[in-house]
Amino acid sequence: MKRKNFGDYISALTNPFFQAILVVITFTIISGISYYSLISFRNFDPTPNLSIPAPTIKRLNVRTGLLINNFLKFDVVQNNFEIDAILWFEYDPKEVSLDELKLCSFSKGKLSDGTTTLVNCVPKITKRGNLYLARFNIKLNFVTNLNYRMFPFDNHRLYLILNNRHLTEKHGAEILFTVDADNFVISKDIYTPGWRKIFSGVRCGYAIDALDPKNDISTRYPRAIFEIDFVNNSIKDILIIILPLFIVFFMALLSFYLMEHDTRNSEMRALIIASSAASALLSYRFVISSLAPTVDYFMFIDQIFNVFLICLFVIFLLNCFFLDRAPKRRGELVLMFHVVLIVSWAYFLYAWGA
């Protein structure tokens, strides 16, 4: 009995049984590679500008806070959010008037009445010694700067940016919002389907509008940035996008098994499978476009789709011109495509996305 060498075992990888085992191994490795990306927070979203005043500058502080009761809209893909919240200010009416505070606005946000400021809102006012506490019940619809580079393995930081361009300086003092960490509260009952909040914070300072950079003419105003970190915890949405790519890819690899059988129709059947897989993948591109955000740069899903497409095109060419001349190379090619897929996945998920 002839003893099998290592090459014989590699050649046997075209067998559907061994290909199924390779599929399980490859999918397990890729799942492990992807798991870390899902549980860790990697933020690519652009950070809003914020300047911190020098300690020597005289300040006039307005205590501010935000309570988010719930998200009425939470659509990360469409970048559409709406919150039900309470915004409050504690101020000295001798230094800052209520009418001035009503001119506050959120960047890229609109209230439920279509306005951008609090002018039409009627606050509940409570006197606390020499200070007044004004509470505004608001429903705010907003968009934020999101980077979808790692979609569908993306995590995001939402920014709620509170500005008041009408508060500059008074009595030689810089007017600033002051928000303690305890004064930015997010209800535990918020509904954010497919996403989990892991952190919230706030930063205060001022923003600068350069009116005439050449002549160094600018204006600055108080700004508070409320930040909320979310991680994607929807395995279902990820599998809906990714799994069909794997199915088409591994079906195309089965064409190598058909090429081993020297029958009249085997080559034609192998070509039909390879070309059908490529056609199915190209058609699935439209499905991905409907599920993915509309952006003008490449995302992770785009790069991985290109890897699958190139592999399928190479499989088709190999079936046409090469495999009938080098039958013993089929097993090596099957293994090579699995390795290419794993390496490409790791590269685009971590090195390219860094």
pLDDT of residue 2: 46
What is the sign, positive or negative, of the torsion defined by CA atoms of 33, 35, 41, 44? positive
Indicate whether 52 belongs to any domain: no
**Which CATH number characterizes residue 259's domain?**
1.20.58
Q: Are residues 227 and 258 in the same domain?
A: no
Buried b (16+ CB within 10 A) or exposed e, 100-111: bbbebbbbbbbb
Report residue 272's pLDDT band, with 50, 70 and 90 as the boundaries: confident
Q: Are 98 and 62 in contact (CB under 8 A)?
A: no
Confidence of residue 264 (pLDDT cuts 50, 70, 90): low
CATH assignment at residue 79: 2.70.170.10
Q: Are residues 220 and 339 in the same domain?
A: no
Domain interval for residue 314:
7-39+236-351
Residue 45 lies in a domain: no
Say what the alpha-carbon torsion angle 338, 342, 347, 349 is, to the nearest 10 degrees: 130
**Amino acid occupying residue 313:** F
What is the tens place of the pLDDT at every residue in 125-169? 999 888 999 999 999 999 999 999 999 999 999 999 999 998 877
Q: Is 346 part of any domain?
A: yes
Claim to verify: residue 216 and residue 333 sit in the same structural domain: no
User: What residues contact 149, with CB distance under 8 A and at least 6 apart?
Assistant: 44, 297, 298, 299, 300, 353
Above pLDDT 90, what percent of the chain?
53
Cα gap 41→233, rounded to integer Å: 12
Identify whether residues 148 and 213 lie together within a single domain: yes
- Of the chain, the end-to-end C-alpha distance in Å amounts to 54
Query: For residue 6, what pLDDT is reported?
Result: 47
Q: What is the pLDDT of residue 326?
A: 54
User: Which of 73 and 216 is assigned the larger pLDDT?
Assistant: 73
> Do the beta carbons of residue 318 and residue 14 sit within 8 Å?
no
Pick the closest to residue 232 from 77, 354, 67, 73 (CA basis). Answer: 77
Q: Do residue 210 and residue 345 come from a single domain?
A: no
Residue 193 and residue 221 in one domain: yes
Residues 218 and 132 in one domain: yes
The model's pTM is 0.86
Whether 203 and 75 share a structural domain: yes
228 within 8 A of 197, measured Cβ to Cβ: yes
DSSP, collapsed to helix, strand or coil, labels residue 317 as helix
- Domain identity same for 182 and 212: yes
Please name the residue ranges forming H helices in 71-181.
98-101
CA dist 54 and 309 (Å) reads 55
Indicate if 191 and 203 belong to the same structural domain. yes
Domain end marker among 186, 217, 233? 233
Q: Helices 266-291 and 300-321 meet at what angle, rounded to 10? A: 170
Tokens of 115: 């306005």
Looking at the structure of the chain, the number of domains it has is 2
Q: Which of 233, 265, 298 is the last residue of a domain?
A: 233
Claim to verify: residue 77 and residue 64 sit in the same structural domain: yes
Residue 50 domain-assigned (yes or no):
no
Distances (CA, A) of 223 to 98, 106, 109, 202, 303: 17, 10, 14, 11, 38
Distance between CA atoms of residues 117 and 163, nearest Å? 10
> Is 51 inside any structural domain?
no
Residues 155 and 270 in one domain: no
Q: How confident is the model at residue 186 (pLDDT cuts 50, 70, 90)?
A: very high
pLDDT at 300: 95
Residue 31 counted as domain residue: yes
Long-range contacts of 35-41 (CB under 8 A, 24+ apart): 37/150, 37/153, 37/349, 37/350, 38/153, 38/231, 38/232, 38/233, 39/231, 40/155, 41/155, 41/198, 41/199, 41/229, 41/231
Answer whether residue 54 is part of any domain. Answer: no
The domain boundary residue, chosen from 175, 201, 233: 233
In a domain, 53, yes or no: no
